[in-house]
């Protein structure tokens, strides 16, 4: 019981963004979602320590807290939010009656501990506590490693083409130099500023250095570019973590001194493959140090100014915007739509721009049609089993946007290219992508 609570607390500390996204499931919005991870993690950690120390009141407190968690999940399901993120054990957790049953079972187990009159020896309690702490640390470390890739996301049509010259200032030592592009309203950027400076990066702010942003064709922050001493672009990519930042610099150092052919604009697969074949040697070397994620054979697809090569899941209106449960929304304003792309009201009936029911020629309201989760609809259309696993977060229009991988056991992507691991688990690979625009300020 204590180990489980430690794991839950550690996962909240390791991925605050997904805790904030999950907070919307329980009715929290705005800036409150950015701070909820800390009291939750602290509460779970304190309860875990009390349980591991054998303190009986901690068992009763854990039972009460877990009962409250189960009630909150049941309330969310009753409000129609089944399938939304729960934030219980990392980004993969979803609200369901199964999660309610699991939480209620844990609450019952904690109550049994409180009722138990058996006192375990101090040595046995200490040993069990040590094992629980070690297991929790390993689980959290593994989740942190698999929650995001080691390599930055590099797309051929974004940023300065590799091999071209860019005047952003050089390094006094003649070594490859890191340029980090940041934005004042981007919390993720702020968390990477200090690691970037420790790596000797020059920081270019979106407001203070608009010309540098324009010259580098930066698609959005946080973004990193590695330059040779003469200004030649060696590596580039969007970064979400310190490891990804380090990987860009490592890739640039590997490529330093090698001949790199400038990348061509994204177009047909044949043009891309022709341009990419000249850089095979450099890419192969870079992969040995945690390479950039290559765009492979796919044509680009844009969401929020960023290019995703997997292509989107089929969506009634084009851009694969979904709500926090995966159901389709209209891209421009987030209004719920049905599988035919028609705006619908809370009861699922199609409506016009003013919100009035659509009528047939005889003046009768048109019947409601189905409304299917976009990932599930993609699987049904192409005959594969699909589910949403992990996601990539970035700042868009002042709010956090999550781009989620629709994963499947299929060996191909929706555009016919070879599948990628992405943010999928248990052997599944990326089939297509969807996105959810949250209310969480950046």
> Per CATH, is 177-287 categorized as 3.40.30.10?
yes
Sorted by where each begins, the domain ranges of the chain are 2-146, 177-287, 304-336+371-442
Is this model's pTM higher than 0.85 or not? Answer: no
308 secondary structure, DSSP code: -
The tokens for 12 are: 């909240």
Segment 240-281, tens digit of pLDDT: 778 888 888 888 888 876 544 444 333 333 333 333 333 332
The Cα 370–Cα 39 span in angstroms is 40
Contact 226, 252 (CB under 8 A): yes
Band of pLDDT at residue 285, cut at 50, 70 and 90: very low
Q: Which two structure tokens, joined as six digits, stand for 291? A: 């390479």
Mean pLDDT of 52-78: 87
Higher-pLDDT residue of 421 and 299 is: 421
How does pLDDT run across 74-127, given as a tens digit for each residue?
988 887 777 777 777 766 677 888 888 988 998 898 888 888 756 666 666 667
What is the b/e burial string over 362-396, where b = at least 16 CB atoms within 10 angstroms of the residue's CB? eeeeeeeeebbbbbbbbbeebebebbbbbbbbbbb
Cis peptide before 128 (omega within 30 of 0): no
177-190: pLDDT as tens digits = 899 998 877 777 88
């Amino acid at each position: 019981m204590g180990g489980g609570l430690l794991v839950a607390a550690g996962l909240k500390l390791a991925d605050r963004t997904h805790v904030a996204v999950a907070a919307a499931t329980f009715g929290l919005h705005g800036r409150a979602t950015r701070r909820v991870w800390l009291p939750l993690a602290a509460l779970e950690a304190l309860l875990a320590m009390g349980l591991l120390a054998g303190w009986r009141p901690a068992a009763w407190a854990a039972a009460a807290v877990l009962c409250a968690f189960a009630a909150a999940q049941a309330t969310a399901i009753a409000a129609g939010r089944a399938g939304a993120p729960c934030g219980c054990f990392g980004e993969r957790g979803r609200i369901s009656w199964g999660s309610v049953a699991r939480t209620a079972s844990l609450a019952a187990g904690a109550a049994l501990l409180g009722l138990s009159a058996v006192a375990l020896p101090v040595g046995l309690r200490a040993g069990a506590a040590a094992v629980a702490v070690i297991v929790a640390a390993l689980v959290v470390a593994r989740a942190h490693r698999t929650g995001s890739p080691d390599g930055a996301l590099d797309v051929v049509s974004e940023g300065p083409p590799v091999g071209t010259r860019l005047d952003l200032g050089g390094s006094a030592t003649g070594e490859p130099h890191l340029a980090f592009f940041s934005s004042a309203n981007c919390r993720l950027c702020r968390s990477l500023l200090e690691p970037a400076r420790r790596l000797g990066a020059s920081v270019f702010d979106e407001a203070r250095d608009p010309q540098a942003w324009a010259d580098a064709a930066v698609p959005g922050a946080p973004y990193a570019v590695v330059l040779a001493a003469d200004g030649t672009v060696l590596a580039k990519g969007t970064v979400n973590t310190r490891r990804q930042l380090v990987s860009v610099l490592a890739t640039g150092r590997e490529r330093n001194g090698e001949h790199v052919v400038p990348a061509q604009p994204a177009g047909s697969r044949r043009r891309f493959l022709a341009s990419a074949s000249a850089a095979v040697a450099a890419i192969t070397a870079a992969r040995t140090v945690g390479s950039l994620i290559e765009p492979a054979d796919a044509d680009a697809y844009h969401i929020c100014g960023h290019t995703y090569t997997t292509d989107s899941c089929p969506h009634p209106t084009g851009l694969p915007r979904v709500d926090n449960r995966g159901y389709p929304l209209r891209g421009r304003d987030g209004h719920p739509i049905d599988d035919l792309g028609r705006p619908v009201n809370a009861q699922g009936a199609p409506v016009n721009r003013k919100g009035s029911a659509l009528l047939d020629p005889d003046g009768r309201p048109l019947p409601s049609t189905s409304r299917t989760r976009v990932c599930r609809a993609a699987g049904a259309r192409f005959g594969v089993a699909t589910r949403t696993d992990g996601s990539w977060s970035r700042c868009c229009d002042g709010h956090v946007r999550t781009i989620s991988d629709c994963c499947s056991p299929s060996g191909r992507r929706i555009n016919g290219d070879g599948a990628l691991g992405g943010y999928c688990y248990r052997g599944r690979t990326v089939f297509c992508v969807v996105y959810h625009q949250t209310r969480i300020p950046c």
